[in-house]
Every structure is written in structure tokens, then in C-alpha cells.
Amino acid sequence: MTSSGSDNEDTNKRSKTTVTFHAHRIILQDGAPFLAELSKAGSGGTVQITDVTHDVFKHVLFYAYGGKITEDDMKTNTKDIINAADKYGVVHLKLEAEEYYTKAITLTINNVLDNLLYADSKNLALLKEAVMDFILAHGDDVMDKVSFDNVHGGVVKDLLAAVARGKAKSSSSDAAADNYNNMRVATLRKMLDEKGLEVDGSRESMIALLKENTDQGNDNDDDNGSDENDD
């Protein structure tokens, strides 16, 4: 694979260079499936990568091979790593970088909308949850100073879910505890991971996947019970 571009942030002074990275498709299929597919379509297994800096692409490949991104590198390249990992299907790197970014960012009235739009565009459910929590905690200021004209209607569901979770905290009923809509993103991802299901996606997609597999499990239990009764 070849990465063409520059690590110089000054676009007016870029001098394009090409760096070649060698990778094994069998490893990419597990750690970076989209890159593996690209390599199949490439000429002689060579793929041109033009939208990621050399350093960031090196981090993506390093992680796909089982490496660990240092805190300094994560701090310097967080959003670039998120973007590259999201595009090339390196899911766990994306989630790690998202978690780092969510913990590191200080949300304010001035940046809350930008972070909401960014979270929505990249399916960063954990970051979006943090943004929703901030909006609920600073409702009056947010409504007075932030325009949501460019936010699509689907975000309203996330806000309603945040309100529901807040109410559920004061409830000890089993119904509230078992309601996926009241669960935090970290809990939903843990449950999906334990079931061997896809953990990357919006809150709605994670809940739908959990419900689908829970319903299938119940149907299988019913079928097994019917067979036992027939015997």
C-alpha cells in the first residue's frame, strides 16, 4: 500500500511524497476489513491512500497488527485517527480514540454544536451521549445561545433518550433497569461485545441489534420448549 500526501499542515506549502507500507491481507481481513477489500481491487495488491497522512495511516496499520497507540500519539492525532479508523473499518481503534477524545474534550456553549455534528457524522455514540448530557445540564444557556437549525430530526431521539435516562436514575423498577433506551452507551457496547455483535454504530442501531438478537434468543427457547413437550 502506498500513502501519498504530506504531513505538513500548511496546504499552501505541500510537497507530495509517497510512502510504501507493506501489509498482509489475511491480517487486514480481521483488523481492517475495508483495507483488505481495497487491496483485492488494487493493481498487484497496491492501493493508493491519498486522504490520510503518513503518520496517521502508520498508526492505523500498526493497530491492525495488534499494536497499541501511545497516549502522546493519540493526543496529537485523535480526530485524524477517528476519521481514518472509521473509513477503513478499524472499529476498536475508532472506539478507543473516541473514548479518549470524549474524556479529553471540555464541552462548552461555543463548541457543543460542532461536537454534536461531528459525533453524528461519524456515529460516535459515546461522544454524542456526552454532548446530550451537557445540553441537559445547561439547557437554558444552550437554547439561548446555540442554533440547532442545521441538526436533523434524528438527533431529537438521542435527546429524548438522555431525558429518559435521567428519569430512570430515580427509579428502581426492573422495567426501567431492563429498558435499553435507558442504558448508557458503554453498557450497550459491553452487551453487544459479550454477544459477539457489532459494537460500532448509533445508539438506535445498537438498541435495534440487541432487541433483534434478544427476540431471536427467546424464539429459540420457545422452539426448544415445544420440542421437549412434543417428546
Give the pLDDT confidence score for residue 222 in this predicted structure: 57
* CATH code of the domain in which 27 resides: 3.30.710.10
The reply to whether 161 falls in a domain is: no
Asked whether residue 45 is domain-assigned, the answer is yes
Q: Please name the residue ranges forming H helices in 7-153.
A: 25-31, 33-41, 54-64, 71-88, 91-104, 112-121, 125-137, 139-145
Instruction: Kindly indicate the confidence band of residue 187, based on its pLDDT and cuts at 50, 70 and 90.
Output: very high
177: in domain = no
Of 79, 123, 67, nearest in space to 104 by CA: 79
| 23 is a domain residue | yes
Question: Does some domain include residue 121?
Answer: no
**pLDDT tens across 116-131, in order?**
999 999 999 999 999 9
Specify which residues 17 forms β-bridges with: 5
Q: Please enumerate in sequence order all residues whose Cβ is within 8 A of that of 105, keeping only pairs 6 or more positions apart, or say none.
A: 111, 115, 127, 130
Helix, strand and coil content of the chain, in percent to the nearest 5, comes to 65, 5, 30
Q: For residue range 20-33, list pLDDT tens digits in order.
A: 777 777 778 777 87
Q: Is residue 183 part of a domain?
A: no
The burial of 54, by beta-carbon neighbours within 10 Å (0-12 exposed, 13-18 middle, 19 or more buried), is given as middle
Query: What does pTM read for this prediction?
Result: 0.78
**Mean pLDDT over residues 209-218, rounded?**
81
Name the residue range of residue 48's domain. 1-6+19-104
Q: How many domains does the chain have?
A: 1
Mean pLDDT of 131-160: 83
Q: What's the confidence (pLDDT) of residue 97?
A: 97
